[in-house]
Amino acid sequence: MPDTQELQNLVTQVRRDILRMVHNVNSGHPGGSLGCTEFFVALYNEIMELKDGFDMDGNGEDLFFLSNGHISPVFYSVLARKGYFPVEELNTFRLINSRLQGHPTTHEGLPGVRIASGSLGQGMSVAIGAALAKKLNGDDHLVFSLHGDGELQEGQNWEAIMYAGGNKVDNLIATVDRNGQQIDGATEEVLPLGDVSEKFRVFGWDVLEIKDGNDLEQVIAGLKEAKSRTGKGKPICIVMTTVMGNGVDFMMHTHAWHGKAPNDEQLENALGQNPETLGDY
């Protein structure tokens, strides 16, 4: 396993990748991507049990499903730097005929991506289905998923959450990115979510919280704790508090950078706050 400094260097480099990708095409979603960088780096480099190579079935390994697919820049960067496809391919983000579209898709056969996502609210259902398939196949590996907090305003989530609790889908770890922002403003102003942790609990889930989802060590510890609670009759929910736009001071604590690319001057400023560590693509 990489040590903490190696992982922190990867976090910084992934942030650079995100910023450069969205700037290159003047399109994309940097805010949520920057806020979830520690989570993705920890998940793929410290937490999940993965096989060499990639196949769509994913038998004999842990699986991950990204529900809030608009944060594809962080997903693509981490997959590339994990070796799923060449890092240089990040240059093609959102270009015509690229495999790296604005929302992840599978029709071009992109290693690491098992579902198309971007229509919000559907990832929970897919993750539950995959977790049940693993149970039927006698595969004791886990299924992980990530969801935006604004995304929980979609009703399909709560049908799925109720189903998972009622059917004891205890090989599932669903993380909610609780950054308090969505495309139109703060979640509490658009449609308040209330006590997300308690809502999952009353639906029959075991819930834990990561208070600072931008602290790499807290994220790793929280994910390991979640793994230790699997197999005990309840699905696991992690409510993870993050800062949208984390790592770039002028992008933080606002929905303004949910789906806006930095201009040349802003990119230079942002990259200056995230010095190159592992080499730019």
Ordered mean pLDDT values, 10 residues apiece, the chain (281 residues): 90 98 97 98 98 95 97 98 98 96 91 93 97 98 97 96 98 97 89 96 98 98 98 98 97 94 98 97 94
Q: Decide: helix, strand or coil at residue 98.
A: coil
Under a CB-based contact definition with an 8 Å cutoff, are residues 203 and 124 in contact?
no
Length of the chain (residues): 281
> Which pLDDT score, from 0 to 100, does residue 112 have?
97
Spatial separation of the C-alpha atoms in residues 148 and 32, rounded to whole Å = 9
Tens digits of residue pLDDT in 16-55? 999 999 999 999 999 999 999 999 999 999 999 999 999 9
CA distances from 246 to 6, 32, 86, 280 (A): 19, 9, 26, 20
> Which pLDDT score, from 0 to 100, does residue 108 have?
81
Domains and CATH numbers, the chain: 4-273 (3.40.50.970)
Spatial separation of the C-alpha atoms in residues 245 and 34, rounded to whole Å = 5
> Which pLDDT score, from 0 to 100, does residue 107 have?
82
> Which pLDDT score, from 0 to 100, does residue 1 have?
66
Spatial separation of the C-alpha atoms in residues 176 and 98, rounded to whole Å = 29
CA dihedral 253, 43, 144, 235 (to 10 degrees): -80
